[in-house]
């Protein structure tokens, strides 16, 4: 089987000549939590105390937000992060956004999305959902959407760096490790493999029922 990575050690590679740009590309895993938990709490507070939305409606809209995030996660990973660029400029952009992670999958400084990318995306998605849902429903919906994103970022770090034994988390880890070390054109769901199963980008079962790549081989 061909080797799908440059280094599986916890090491990094320089991407930018500019020191400031290079610093922005290195993110501690706690950063998304520090940024987005207060935002989630703000929208939750606004939903209850400002908009007066019922608990049942908040839970329902938050669940819908999480559901929409799973679709967004799958779509971004498959169609944006794995876009097959033809031009040299496009290839450089792809490497910056995602290619570097596949070359250095255990680089702990590039496992969560940099705020320089996630914050503009969050603002863009908020205004899209604001237009669709209106000023009242967007708040509890965004609670779920951001919770889904935060779970994705935490999951992505965990499956690459935590020694996992729980069956649920181990299943997510196995799914994502296959994406890295078995076939990069399959397994685009990180925090949830559900869309891979529905759309048909899940990993096929081998005849003997064993995975081509084991967790032990790449941990």
Extents of the domains making up the chain: 19-167
Q: Tokens in use for 76?
A: 């971004």
| Helix 55-75 / helix 115-161 crossing angle, nearest 10 deg | 80
The helix (H) or strand (E) run that includes residue 104 is none
Contacts of 55 (CB under 8 A, 6+ apart): 48
pLDDT recorded at residue 217? 47
pLDDT along the chain (219 residues), means of 10: 74 89 90 97 96 96 98 96 88 87 91 93 97 95 98 95 91 94 94 94 76 52
Radius of gyration of the chain (CA): 19
Is the full-model pTM beyond 0.85?
yes
The closest of 185, 173, 32 to 102, measured between CA atoms, is 185
pLDDT recorded at residue 96? 85
The closest of 147, 119, 116 to 16, measured between CA atoms, is 116
pLDDT recorded at residue 140? 97
* Residue 139, φ and ψ in degrees, nearest 5: -65, -55
């Amino acid at each position: 089987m061909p080797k799908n990575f440059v280094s599986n050690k916890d090491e990094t590679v320089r991407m930018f000549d500019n020191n400031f740009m290079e610093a922005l590309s290195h993110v501690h895993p706690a950063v998304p939590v520090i940024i987005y938990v207060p935002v989630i709490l703000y929208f939750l507070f606004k939903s209850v105390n400002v908009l007066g939305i019922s608990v049942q409606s908040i839970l329902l809209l938050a669940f819908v937000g999480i559901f929409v995030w799973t679709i967004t996660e799958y779509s971004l990973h498959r169609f944006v992060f794995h876009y097959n660029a033809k031009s040299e400029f496009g290839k450089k952009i792809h490497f910056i956004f995602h290619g570097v992670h596949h070359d250095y999958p255990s680089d702990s400084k590039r496992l969560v999305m940099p705020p320089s990318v996630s914050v503009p995306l969050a603002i863009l998605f908020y205004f899209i959902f604001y237009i669709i849902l209106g000023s009242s429903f967007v708040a509890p919906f965004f609670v779920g959407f951001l919770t889904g994103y935060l779970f994705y970022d935490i999951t992505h770090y965990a499956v690459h760096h935590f020694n996992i034994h729980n069956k649920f988390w181990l299943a997510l880890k196995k799914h994502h490790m296959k994406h890295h070390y078995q076939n990069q054109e399959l397994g685009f769901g990180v925090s949830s493999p559900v869309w891979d199963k529905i759309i048909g980008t899940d990993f096929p079962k081998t005849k003997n029922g064993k995975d081509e790549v084991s967790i032990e081989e790449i941990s």
